[in-house]
């Protein structure tokens, strides 16, 4: 049911909004009165539908005073008389249909036209804004863009902004500012250029962006903290452990064979436990250092890194009689210390996880599309059951009993962390009894063909 005052006001508003379409307003109202709202929509004119919707919205708001409505009607009629420009009128329908708030401004920076979305967004009624300076709702950054100067016309000034989203602050009627993105497009009319601004409230997006940035910062902070924690914990644990280790070793050295056989066994277990714990802590330190003691990526020779790794492994290679060979190796962008460690861990494993055979290890590369290299470290060792292909890269992951192979279960976790820090990935292909091939990807220096 419509109240009379609302009815009049809604007509007035519709009239102000749409200017020339007053006959349609009447038509729409007639349809409203006969409760055939849907039929109006079916008339096929988008414009009419929108006006009905606008009228219905007005009714819901139930704004009172007939006098006010009539005043608005008069104002609308005056404005209507002024606005004779047919192209502007034609665009009104589109204006109302747009999902964004639309404000049309002349080159003097005055608001000529706006749609219902704009009313809603800025909290003004249409008649309060039409004829006002656009700085009322967009204090900065919009009006300035319309001003021609010695070097450019309005069209040129506008042209620079066409299609680009400009982020500005807008001011609501209640005085609060909110972030908007506006897109400008010029509209040629006989009266000169009018500028249509599509305005989107981006408060939610800005909040989401800020939240994302906060979350990233928080994540980085907690990551740094964790790295720091691992480093400090492992470093400080060394100190008491050094005492336990030193004195059990001293005990073993001085009293072995002088107490009973039980004592010798107990001391041996203590020495063994302490030795393993030292190894574990050192590996944990090494793991935490992949992040905390990281160097910049430089253009380095992967062959030099491999040679250094082989020097570090020389006693293991000599003891096992391992044959380590390699194909031509490229220059890569890497942290050299970490690349050496990577080769060292992978080749060290290849030599270590062997049955009685002479270990054979071959290192080669293949080009992976653009500027990436796939490095492969292939061995003839024990091989790995496919079910462990993923888990072996985790921390403390061990596949063998301590009596078979010593180790802290950190080696491949360190490899994975190093490769990932270099933006690559590490994986394994293997068949138990037929050796394993570990592959990892590194970026080239962009010069190798």
Output 147 or 250, the one with its CB closest to another protein: 250
> Does 295 sit near another protein (CB under 8 A)?
no
> Does 249 sit near another protein (CB under 8 A)?
yes
> Does 152 sit near another protein (CB under 8 A)?
no
> Does 149 sit near another protein (CB under 8 A)?
no
Name the E strands within 302-409: 323-326, 331-334, 360-368, 372-379
DSSP-derived secondary structure for 215-237: HHHHHHHHHHHHHHHHHHHHHHH
CB of 209 to another protein, least distance (A): 38
Nearest alpha-carbon partner for 108 in 138, 81, 136, 144: 144
337, two tokens: 């210390």
Contacts of 74 (CB under 8 A, 6+ apart): none
Q: Is 111 helix (H, G, I), strand (E, B) or coil?
A: strand
> Does 243 sit near another protein (CB under 8 A)?
yes
Helix-helix angle 411-421:261-292, to 10 degrees: 0
CB of 250 to another protein, least distance (A): 6
Q: Is 195 helix (H, G, I), strand (E, B) or coil?
A: strand
Cβ neighbours around 261 below 10 Å, total: 8
CB of 279 to another protein, least distance (A): 10
> Does 296 sit near another protein (CB under 8 A)?
no
> Does 267 sit near another protein (CB under 8 A)?
no
**CA–CA gap between residue 239 and residue 246 (Å, rounded):** 11
Output 45 or 278, the one with its CB closest to another protein: 278
Output 159 or 293, the one with its CB closest to another protein: 293
> Does 246 sit near another protein (CB under 8 A)?
yes
> Does 247 sit near another protein (CB under 8 A)?
yes
> Does 208 sit near another protein (CB under 8 A)?
no
Output 231 or 440, the one with its CB closest to another protein: 231
CB of 243 to another protein, least distance (A): 4
**CA–CA gap between residue 112 and residue 428 (Å, rounded):** 68
Among 133, 143, 241, 270, binds another protein (CB under 8 A): 241
Among 20, 85, 136, 278, binds another protein (CB under 8 A): 278
CB of 357 to another protein, least distance (A): 32
DSSP H or E segment with residue 9:
helix 4-18
Output 152 or 256, the one with its CB closest to another protein: 256
**CA–CA gap between residue 314 and residue 320 (Å, rounded):** 10
The DSSP secondary-structure symbol of 298 reads: E
**Residue ranges in contact with another protein by CB under 8 A:** 238-239, 241-243, 245-247, 249-250, 253, 278
């Amino acid at each position: 049911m419509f109240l009379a005052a609302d009815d009049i006001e809604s007509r007035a508003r519709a009239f102000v909004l749409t200017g020339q379409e007053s006959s349609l307003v009447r038509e729409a109202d007639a349809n409203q009165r006969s409760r055939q709202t849907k039929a109006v929509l079916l008339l096929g004119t988008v414009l009419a539908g929108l006006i009905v919707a606008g009228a219905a919205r007005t009714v819901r708001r139930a704004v009172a005073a007939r006098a006010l409505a009539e005043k608005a009607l008069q104002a609308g009629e005056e404005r209507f008389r002024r606005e004779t420009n047919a192209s502007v009128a034609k665009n009104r329908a589109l204006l109302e249909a747009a999902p964004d708030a639309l404000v049309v401004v002349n080159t003097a920076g005055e608001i000529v036209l706006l749609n219902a979305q704009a009313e809603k967004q800025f909290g003004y009624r249409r008649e309060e804004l039409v004829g006002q300076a656009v700085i009322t709702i967009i204090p900065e950054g919009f009006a300035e863009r319309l001003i021609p100067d010695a070097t450019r016309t309005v069209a040129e000034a506008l042209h620079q902004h066409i299609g680009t989203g400009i982020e500005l602050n807008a001011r609501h009627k209640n005085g609060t500012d909110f972030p908007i993105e506006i897109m400008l497009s010029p509209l040629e009319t006989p009266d000169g250029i009018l500028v249509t601004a599509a305005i989107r409230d981006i408060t939610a997006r800005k909040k989401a962006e800020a939240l994302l940035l906060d979350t990233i910062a928080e994540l980085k902070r907690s990551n740094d903290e964790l790295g720091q924690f691992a480093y400090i914990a492992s470093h400080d644990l060394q100190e008491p452990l050094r005492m336990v280790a030193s004195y059990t070793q001293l005990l073993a050295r001085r009293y072995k064979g002088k107490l009973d056989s039980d004592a010798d066994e107990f001391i041996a277990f203590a020495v063994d436990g302490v030795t393993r714990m030292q190894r574990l802590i050192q590996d944990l330190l090494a793991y935490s250092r992949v992040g905390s003691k990281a160097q910049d990526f430089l253009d380095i020779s992967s062959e030099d890194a491999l040679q250094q790794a082989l020097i570090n492994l020389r006693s293991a290679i000599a003891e096992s009689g391992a044959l380590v060979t390699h194909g031509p190796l490229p220059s890569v962008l890497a942290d050299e210390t970490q690349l050496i460690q990577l080769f060292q861990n992978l080749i060290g494993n290849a030599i270590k996880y062997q049955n009685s055979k002479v270990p054979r290890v071959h290192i080669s590369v293949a080009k992976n599309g653009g500027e990436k290299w796939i490095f492969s470290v292939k061995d003839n060792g024990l091989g790995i059951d496919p079910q462990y292909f993923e888990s072996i890269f985790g921390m403390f992951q061990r596949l063998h009993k301590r009596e078979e192979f010593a180790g802290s279960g950190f080696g491949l976790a360190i490899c994975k962390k190093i490769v990932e820090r270099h933006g690559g990935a590490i994986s394994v292909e293997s068949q138990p009894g037929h050796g394993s091939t570990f592959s990892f990807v590194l970026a080239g220096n962009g010069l190798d063909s």
